[in-house]
Chains A and B, each alone.
Chain A
Amino acid sequence: DGGITQSPKYLFRKEGQNVTLSCEQNLNHDAMYWYRQDPGQGLRLIYYSHIVNDFQKGDIAEGYSVSREKKESFPLTVTSAQKNPTAFYLCASSKSTENNQPQHFGDGTRLSIL
């Protein structure tokens, strides 16, 4: 079955450490997104990519970085510059950049500070 796979499900970060969250999709979707979810705040957009080798900052990109070297993959790195990284991170994809396209989500990665 097609879908989005996020790994790991749980991740712990030490002070000063960079960590990378994996996101892979086999839906053949062009667009991919990373969101951060905090209780009571809904989803906030970190980065998005409409096509391979191109990505744009979302609303809360500071302290995060991404790459899009393959259509299927859109990893997110949480850098040591992100001072409050504890959150639930969701990766999503959509068929195209047309704004009538719904997004498909992975099951998330929960990041905590050690």
Chain B
Amino acid sequence: AQSVTQLDSQVPVFEEAPVELRCNYSSSVSVYLFWYVQYPNQGLQLLLKYLSGSTLVKGINGFEAEFNKSQTSFHLRKPSVHISDTAEYFCAVTSGGGFKTIFGAGTRLFVKA
């Protein structure tokens, strides 16, 4: 069975500092991986996705993520965060064996001035 673990429930960081939000998954088959962002009282928006090919994926708002098959990880990074990046971030996985998307519990990113 698939599962997704987001290793940090909250990540505080100062503005203009780099950030990494960690995500590990488990699946016995090939996977497709996604990161979504949720601003307060809104739905989720797609940040980026890994389907195949290059393991480094670039998304919107300067975010990128790296797929590491041996470590079953898909960590999200940004070299310099802004106050406006304060939000909750969700890692999600679907597998080649089924259609259902499994979401992690979310990581709340706080960017401080």
Contacts and interface: CB of A to CB of B under 8 A. Distances in A.
B45 interface: yes
Nearest to A3: B43
B94 A41 contact: no
A8 B17 CA distance: 39
A100 B9 contact: no
Nearest to A59: B100
B95 A99 contact: yes
Interface stretch (A12-20, A69-77, A103-111): A103-111
Interface residues of B, number: 24
Interface in A27-63: 40-43, 45, 48, 50, 58
B99 A40 contact: no
Given A40-B9, A41-B105, A42-B106, A100 B41 contact: no
B43 A106 contact: yes
B100 A42 contact: no
Chain B interface SS verdict (over half):
loop
B90 A100 contact: no
A4 interface: yes
B90 A43 contact: yes
Given A40-B9, A42-B90, A99 B99 contact: yes
Interface of B: 9, 32, 34, 36, 41-46, 49, 51, 90, 94-96, 98-101, 103-106
Interface of A: 4, 6, 40-43, 45, 48, 50, 58, 90, 92, 97-100, 102-108, 110
Ranked nearest first, the 9 interchain pairs of A and B with the lowest CB-CB distance are A105-B43, A99-B94, A42-B105, A43-B103, A42-B103, A105-B44, A102-B46, A100-B32, A99-B99
